[in-house]
């Protein structure tokens, strides 16, 4: 397999579950690949090359658009469970029988469901900026998230400075570096998602987040070694939800980064890559 990078990996396609999935894979093949699950309204191009290329020295990285997102065909389902079923269909369609799974925010919900539904398929789990079913402030977008996603920005990309980074000058400066990096790839970029994506994803998020009895019991069935990572000051999915995940998943390690909001892995990409590599090699 050629040694492509985040910037050069061609977008490929594979058919499964009635969907034509767009994906990119790059890095060192032969081991257990790491499959990335994207956040609310994001495409393959919202991942940070400092993270993806940082991880490919020892493993293969696979990015994909789930059903209905950007370059993939189909419709965005209105439940996390169906998104996870689509992800499993995609993973099998590219010929894999065991993967590590990373999920960020909404993608972290999909990753949990995927790991629960497919315990043989998922070896290790990385949950970024995410939370449990019925997590705190997860029945709808948080007030902060409603304000941030509802605002208009002179430069549309600047939305992500508020979603992913804290208000400190240091965090905002890290955010501007992230915005540069995620624009490095100039050819064969994913189109932005259609207007149909956000409503379906919000419906799925709301169903996941609705209060229920003993909401965290399901986490006991997550037997994969799990790494939970977030910023200590996440206003999109409150940081306490990462603590709750660690407390209820039987084999979970938690890392919270300082002065960081929802996208802490983009604020500390080198440190995050070290922590993830240590975890996946452990």
Q: How far is the CB of 278 from a second copy (least distance, A)?
A: 6
Residue 154, C-beta contacts closer than 8 angstroms, at least 6 positions apart: none
Residue found under tokens 């549309």: 156
Within 206-235, the residues that bind a second copy by CB under 8 A are: 225-226, 232
Give the C-alpha distances (Å, rounded to integers) separating 64 from 18, 24, 99, 127, 156.
16, 6, 14, 17, 23
Q: Which of 136, 157, 203, 259 binds a second copy (CB under 8 A)?
A: 259
Q: Which of 41, 239, 241, 267 binds a second copy (CB under 8 A)?
A: 239
> Angle 106-117/80-93 helices, nearest 10 degrees?
70
Distance (Å, whole) CA 280 – CA 126: 9
- Sign for the CA dihedral angle at 87, 244, 209, 158 comes to negative
Considering only CA atoms, which of 151, 178, 191 is closest in space to residue 262? 178
Residue 83, C-beta contacts closer than 8 angstroms, at least 6 positions apart: 66, 67, 76, 77, 110, 113, 204
Q: Which of 182, 257, 266, 272 binds a second copy (CB under 8 A)?
A: 257
Per-residue binding letters, 260-279, with a second copy (x by CB under 8 A): -----------x--xx--x-
Instruction: Note whether 253 binds a second copy by CB under 8 A.
Output: yes
Q: How far is the CB of 225 from a second copy (least distance, A)?
A: 8
Q: How far is the CB of 244 from a second copy (least distance, A)?
A: 10
Q: How far is the CB of 253 from a second copy (least distance, A)?
A: 6
Piece of 9-17, 155-163, 172-180, 257-265 that binds a second copy (CB under 8 A): 257-265
Total residues contacting a second copy (rule CB under 8 A)? 24
Considering only CA atoms, which of 13, 55, 54, 4 is closest in space to residue 190? 13
Residue whose CB is less far from a second copy, 73 or 277: 277
The tokens for 121 are 């398929």
Q: How far is the CB of 273 from a second copy (least distance, A)?
A: 11
Q: How far is the CB of 255 from a second copy (least distance, A)?
A: 5
Within 89-148, the residues that bind a second copy by CB under 8 A are: none
Distance (Å, whole) CA 165 – CA 41: 17
Residue whose CB is less far from a second copy, 43 or 265: 265
- Provide the 8-state DSSP code for 218: G
Chain residues that interact with a second copy, rule: CB under 8 A: 225-226, 232, 239-240, 243, 246-247, 249-259, 271, 274-275, 278, 282
């Amino acid at each position: 397999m050629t040694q492509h990078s985040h910037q050069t990996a061609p977008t490929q396609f594979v058919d499964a579950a009635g969907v034509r999935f767009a994906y990119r894979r790059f890095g060192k093949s032969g081991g257990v690949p790491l499959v990335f699950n994207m956040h609310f309204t994001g495409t393959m191009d919202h991942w940070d090359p400092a993270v993806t290329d940082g991880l490919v020295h020892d493993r293969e990285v696979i990015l994909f658009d789930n059903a209905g997102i950007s370059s993939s065909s189909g419709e965005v389902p209105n439940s996390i469970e169906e998104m996870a079923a689509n992800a499993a269909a995609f993973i099998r369609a590219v010929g894999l029988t065991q993967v590590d799974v990373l999920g960020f925010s909404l993608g972290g919900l999909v990753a949990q469901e995927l790991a629960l539904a497919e315990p043989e398929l998922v070896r290790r789990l990385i949950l970024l900026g995410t939370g449990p079913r019925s997590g705190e402030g997860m029945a709808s977008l948080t007030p902060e998230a409603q304000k941030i996603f509802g605002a208009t920005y002179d430069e549309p990309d600047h939305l992500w400075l508020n979603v992913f980074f804290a208000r400190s000058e240091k965090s905002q400066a890290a955010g501007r570096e992230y915005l540069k990096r995620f624009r490095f790839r100039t050819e064969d970029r994913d189109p932005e998602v259609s207007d149909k994506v956000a409503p379906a994803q919000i419906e799925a998020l709301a169903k996941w987040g609705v209060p229920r009895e003993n909401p965290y019991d399901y986490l006991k069935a997550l037997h994969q070694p799990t790494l939970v990572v977030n910023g200590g000051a996440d206003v999109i999915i409150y940081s306490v939800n990462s603590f709750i995940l660690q407390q209820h998943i039987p084999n979970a390690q938690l890392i919270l980064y300082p002065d960081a909001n929802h996208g802490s892995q983009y604020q500390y990409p080198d440190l995050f890559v070290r922590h993830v590599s240590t975890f996946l090699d452990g």
